[in-house]
Every structure is written in structure tokens, then in C-alpha cells.
Amino acid sequence: MTSRTLFLAGLVLAINFTLRAQPSFEAPPAAPTVIERADQRRAAYLARVDEVLAWRCSRVKPGELITDLAGISAKLARGEDADLCSRSVIELMKTPGSGPFWMFPVVGVAYLGRDQLSPEARQSIREAWRRGMQMRGDTENHWVMYYTSLYLMAELYPDEPADSWYTGKSSAENLAEARGYLLDWMNLATTIGQGEFNPTHYIGEYAIPLLYLATWAEDPAMRLRGQMKLDWILADLAANTLNGVLHGANARTDDTSVIERWNALASFFSWLAFGNTPPPAGYGGWGVYFATVARHYEVPEVIYRIAVDREGDYVQRDLKRTRRRWRNSDVLMAPIYRTNYTRRDYAVGSYQGGMADPIQTHVWDVTWAVPDPRGVHNTMFSMHPVSSSYDMQTYFTELPDQMIKGVTKEGKASYDSPDKFLGGSRFEQVFQDLDTVIALYNIPPGERFPHINGFFSKDLVHLTVDASGWIFAQGGRAYLAYRPLAGYELQPLARIKSSWTGERADTGDKRLYSPHLKNGTIVQAASVDEFADFAAFQAAIRALPLEYQLEPVPTVKFTTLRGKEVVCTFGAAPVVNGQPVDYTKWKLFEGPYLNAEKGSRRLTLTHGRLERILDFNSLSITERVHER
């Protein structure tokens, strides 16, 4: 028996055992490894895909109709119980849902079931798309799901008249509208950046529709676009993770993921594509839909290696954009300048402050590596909590007097809470140089929450409030120094357990509460390996030159642990070693792994000798292996 056959046989046995014993989200984390051979990487990937589908199918109750589209999709993907799936589809299509979160799962069932579902079941789907009014939604991910779904259904049912569609348009008209949006969105994202950038959960709402396009679109060009944009998103994920855990700034996250960084759908995609972190419980829910078609996608080697085979410390800078602004702004979409510095023991990430999204933005953090991230709050940051009808009116078009009350009942229960840790602020300005972050706050009188919140994890050790004004701590193998610039107190924190109900639970975490309008935070991180001990780290931080003032606006002059003199003044460009930072020169991607010029529509992925170019101008993928 060859070594390859032995490996594959062993892998199958291991996966079968795992399925009988416990799913990967309950099992001990796998040891960090880099799989060198392509056939072994592919086998491991497909084994993870099969694990998801087998787990989901095992949850279908024997003898009962399947009551959700994920269960039906998993069954169809495995070629099981076509009659049960058909009867279940007919029942579910009696009451169609409304909007993209119903549309794209139905698209998956329709395509997976083309040769398995009964004629009656297929007709029930078609009828639901005639009489069930579908809402487009109001976010970038909504529109991608909506138009991908409409595009694929128009291809599945071509040449049909307007009265057979809920839109009142013919198949050809629906196809043209959907195609136009998708091309425009891809053009925008590949020239000035994605609006919902690096989302902890909404990555699924992009990856799944793109995989559907790459798998099922009849037009070869659209299939290729789907594959290329999926590569683009997974490469962005790979470069901005620490052992598979997405870190740093997010356009959108939630109350759980902002402090337990691993606990997000993004971790499912890291697990599935790279195998370098446990998946979240239930594979993140939406992960099942990706798994149903995942064998049609092959993770490019260069992306895999960016995720798991790092070549030392690195800085990655990206250009993104805010959500669309409908009022209270001179620009439709403001630029976001994102920085990530990744090391073996920790990572630091940020953007320049301000509001990328009015509700779920996360602006900056230090995240440290841990052997098993489940249940660990391995992050540190500060923020200004905002609850503002003015800010919501900038981004939404609903009636303003109902906005705040409404959003707290739509899965964003923390929005109007003074002790929340989710959201950006127009009154926060952030600058990062390697593993130093300076965050300044200039909050005007009259703001609903006139204070800042700093997050101190239950998982920190050696927490020390020093007479110098610094707060020292250790997280994993990272030493951390946190310097508040105004008075504060450390308070117990009961985090929001449910984003829908607002239910709270004790965590052991602490909130640094600082009730001062002129305010600021400095955080400096370092590796344990850099110092003889914790005391030596503290001594080095105390010795760093620091000057600051809070009036008339917060200003800091600080020499970092890396020897840079940084001057930050609220409302002015940061200055590093005497040179102002020029954000106009920011590239779409710049780093050792991802590189693209602003406006280029062309991303170059690099790892060692490997190179992969995604070029939306020529609509081509070019792969090269360079000589050493």
C-alpha cells in the first residue's frame, strides 16, 4: 500500500471516528501543522466538508419532515432521502420567507435538487418565487445575497414572463439587473475596498453566494468572477488571522465576537479552508450552506500558506470604505485605512477611527495567541460607546424617532447600553505603529454616553495598576501595557449574552470606565521572549518618553518600544519621526502577502515562491512558481 493510500485511509478512519465521537467544535484542537502535499491538503479539506454534512444530516429526525433548508441542503448534497426532501420542500414552500436570508438557501436547494427533487417539489419552489415578495434589504451583504439569488434563479428558469416572477419582470430582465449589480459591486470592492470589511460573521453572507456563482452560473465569465472574488475574500481572511482567529478592526462584528475573538463564523471558514482553529458550535449555522457546495472549490495553495505558514512578523495595510452615507456627510463612502501587525504571540490591528458602520464596528485591538481559543477573551481595547439617532440617520432611511428603539429589537440589543464594547465613534481617532496603538477621544458635551470603556479580560494575568499611570498585564505570551490618559475606575462587567434579548451574564471581565470627555488610551504590546521577566518589561515601558495634554484637544507625544517617536493630536494627521502620515498614498493592499494598487482591480497573492494574480481587468487568474 502506498504512503498516499495509507494517509487517505487513515484520514477517513480518523474522520469517521470523529463523527461517531464528537464534532470538531467539541473535540480538542488539532496540533498546528502545515500540510505540504496538495493531495493531502485536499483530502483533509474534503474530510472537513464531509464532517459538516454528516453532522447536519444526523440531526434530521427520522420519520419527520425536515423543517429547515439547511437540513434539506445537507441531505441533497449527500444524495440522501430525495423523497423526504421533496415532501419537506413542498411543505416549506407553502409559506415563503421574504428577503435574502430566505432566498439564497432556497437557491441552494433548487440547484442541489435539480436531479433529485420531485417535479412537484421543484414546482413549489418556482411558485414561491412568483408569489412570495422578496425584500432586497439595506446592507452590502443583503444586496450580494439578493442579486446572486435572483441571478441564479433567472438562469435556472430562463425565458419566463414577467407575471411569473415576484419582481414583475421577465427572466431576462431579472438576470440583467442582477448581473449589473454584481459587476458593479465587484468593481467597487476591487478598486476602493469592501464596505463590510473583515466581518466576523457576515463573511458567510459573501462567501456562500460567491461559491454558488462559481459553481452554478451558466456564464463562464460569471463563474470565474465568483471564484476570483471568493479567493479575494479568503485571502483577506488568511492575512488577518492569528492561528485562524480573525483579529483587528471589523466593519461589523457582535457583542460575543468582539471579546471572544474566535467565536465567529469567520473561524468556521478558517477551520474549513485551513484547518488551523476549531469551528464554532454547529459550524456557525451558515457554514452548512457553504459545505453543501464546498467540494466544488479548491483552496489555492498560496492562500492556505498565508494562513498557516507565516514567515515572521509582518505588517498588512488595506484600504476599505465605510457603509454608504445618505445624509450628514459630504462623501458617500469615506475611506478606511486599516493596519494589522501580526507576530507569533499576538497581533495588533486598527483603522483610523470614526464610524465605518453605525452599530457593529470594532475599531482596534490587541489579540494574543492561545492554544485553544474557545471561551477565551484574548483581547484588549478601548472605545467610546455611541447611541445616536443622528449617526443612525447618516446610514439608514427609517423614521428617525424609532431608530434606536428599533435596532435594539433587531439583534443589536447592546446599542443603547452605556457599558457596551461594540461600535465606532466620530469622536475617536486612532493611530497604530507596529504594536503601539494611540486612541484619542474628543467627546462633545451633551453626548448620551460621555465616557470611554476599556476592556480588561478575565484571562489576563499579573494585572498591575502601577504608580506611573500604566496598567500592566500578561495575556498568553504577550506582555501588555495600557495607559489611560484620564481618571478611571475598574468595574465588574456583565456582558450581553444574547444580542436579541439583552440577557446578561457574569464573565469575570472588567470595564475600565473613564467619565471624561477629553480622553485617550495608549497600548504597547511585546512578546514574553523579548524580556528577562515581567518586571523588566514594566521597567522598559516606564522608561519610554511620554508627554500628553487633554486641552484644548487630546495630544500625545510618545516614543514607542520600537524606538519611533509618534505625535498624535485629535483632528490632525499623526506624525512619525517628524513625518506626517499621508493616507492619500495608502494602497488597496500592501504587505508581504497581499498587494494591490488603489483602483487597480488586480490583487497579487504571494508566499515564498508562490504567486497568484487575480485580475478583474482581464478576468484571469495567473499562477507562478518563482525560482528561489
Percent of the chain residues past pLDDT 70, beyond the cut = 97
Residue 405: per-residue pLDDT:
85
What is the dihedral sign for C-alpha 597, 598, 602, 608?
A: positive
What is the dihedral sign for C-alpha 151, 143, 338, 414?
A: negative
Q: Are residues 337 and 473 in the same domain?
A: yes
Q: Above 60 in pLDDT, residue 5?
A: no
Q: Can you read off the three cell numbers belonging to residue 134?
A: 422578496
Confirm if 205 and 286 have CB atoms less than 8 A apart. yes
Q: Are residues 428 and 323 in the same domain?
A: yes
Q: Are residues 344 and 482 in the same domain?
A: yes
Q: Are residues 496 and 442 in the same domain?
A: yes
CA distance 491 to 508: 10
Residue 408 lies in a domain: yes
Residue 557 lies in a domain: no
In 3D space, the residue among 281, 278, 105, 299 whose CA is nearest the CA of residue 205 turns out to be 105
In 3D space, the residue among 96, 61, 110, 56 whose CA is nearest the CA of residue 78 turns out to be 56
Confirm if 586 and 573 have CB atoms less than 8 A apart. no
Tens digit of each residue's pLDDT (9 = 90 or more) over 76-93: 999 999 999 999 999 999
- Last-in-domain residue among 505, 528, 545: 545
Look at the chain and report how many structural domains it folds into.
2
Q: Are residues 284 and 366 in the same domain?
A: no
The mean pLDDT value for 320-342 works out to 97
DSSP element (H, E) containing 86: helix 82-92
Residue 172 lies in a domain: yes
Paired residues of 602 in beta bridges: 615
Residue 568 lies in a domain: no
What's the whole-model pTM score?
Answer: 0.95
Q: Are residues 134 and 112 in the same domain?
A: yes
Q: Above 70 in pLDDT, residue 197?
A: yes
Residue 612 lies in a domain: no
Q: Cis ω on the peptide bond leading into residue 552 (within 30° of 0)?
A: yes
CA distance 23 to 17: 10
Q: Are residues 470 and 497 in the same domain?
A: yes
- Last-in-domain residue among 297, 320, 346: 297
Q: Above 70 in pLDDT, residue 3?
A: no
CA distance 34 to 304: 9
DSSP characters over 558-598 = EE-TTS-EEEEETTS--EETTEE--GGG--SEESSSEEB-T
Residue 327 lies in a domain: yes
Q: Are residues 349 and 375 in the same domain?
A: yes
Tens digit of each residue's pLDDT (9 = 90 or more) over 558-602: 999 999 999 999 999 999 999 999 999 999 999 999 999 999 999
Tens digit of each residue's pLDDT (9 = 90 or more) over 415-457: 999 999 999 999 999 999 999 999 999 999 999 999 999 999 9
- Last-in-domain residue among 510, 545, 580: 545
Residue 593 lies in a domain: no
CA distance 37 to 3: 12
Q: Are residues 201 and 330 in the same domain?
A: no
Residue 311: per-residue pLDDT:
83
| 375 C-beta neighbours (distance < 10 Å), count | 11
Q: Are residues 526 and 461 in the same domain?
A: yes
Q: Are residues 103 and 124 in the same domain?
A: yes
Residue 193 lies in a domain: yes
Domain of 133 in residue numbering reads as 23-240+259-297
Q: Are residues 320 and 281 in the same domain?
A: no
